[in-house]
Amino acid sequence: MKISIINGPNLNLVGVREPEIYGHRSLSEYLDNLVGLYPGVDFDLFQSNHEGAIIDEIQRVGFDHDGIVLNAGAYTHYSIAIADALRAVTAPAIEVHISDTQAREPYRHVSMIKEACVAVIAGYGLDSYRRAVDCLLEMKNTAKP
């Protein structure tokens, strides 16, 4: 089982950035701990502040991995190109957010990528990532042979 966790712009600053929204724990520290909880899963962790680099990564892993956990950050709200990349590949993707985007500014209520994803998990803090991994594992276990 191979899962790719892809993070978009400014997520490298979680822990420092707006802690009242995103918390005080660094995302890289959280994810390093998360991967240790799933010894049977082969994880790829990727973060970029650049749209094209995120698309390149989706294309790189998207035909080979069993699932993608994607927090596209602000690109979520306007990147048709990332949505198209998700539609182009075969791996199912889960859209993830640390904050509850539906409870924030109206421009964050829009997701260009949600229709290219099998699920959206938002508002559970960093635990949104674990829930997304569990969701992919459950989907894999219940998939028809």
Ligand X SMILES: O=C1C[C@@](O)(C(=O)O)C[C@@H](O)[C@@H]1O
Binding-site annotation: residue ranges? 71, 77, 84, 98-99, 108
140 near ligand X, rule: CB under 6 A: no
Binding mask 96-125 for ligand X (x = CB under 6 A): -xxx-x------x-----------------
The answer to whether residue 38 is catalytic is no
Strand ranges across the sheet with 42-47: 42-47, 2-7, 67-71, 93-97, 119-122
Indicate the residue among 79 and 101 with the shorter CB distance to ligand X: 101
Q: How far is the CB of 50 from ligand X (least distance, A)?
A: 14
> Is the Cβ–Cβ distance between 31 and 128 less than 8 Å?
no
The answer to whether residue 50 is catalytic is no
Catalytic residue among 22, 30, 75, 129: 22
65 near ligand X, rule: CB under 6 A: no
Name which position in 73, 82, 83, 86 contacts ligand X (CB under 6 A).
73
CA gap 111, 35 in Å, rounded: 27
Indicate the residue among 47 and 136 with the shorter CB distance to ligand X: 47
71 near ligand X, rule: CB under 6 A: yes
> Measured between alpha carbons, how far is residue 84 from residues 7, 63, 97 in Å?
17, 14, 19
> Is the Cβ–Cβ distance between 71 and 6 less than 8 Å?
yes
Sign of CA dihedral 75, 79, 84, 85: negative
Positions annotated as catalytic residues are 22, 97
Binding site for ligand X (CB under 6 A): 10, 71, 73-74, 76, 97-99, 101, 108
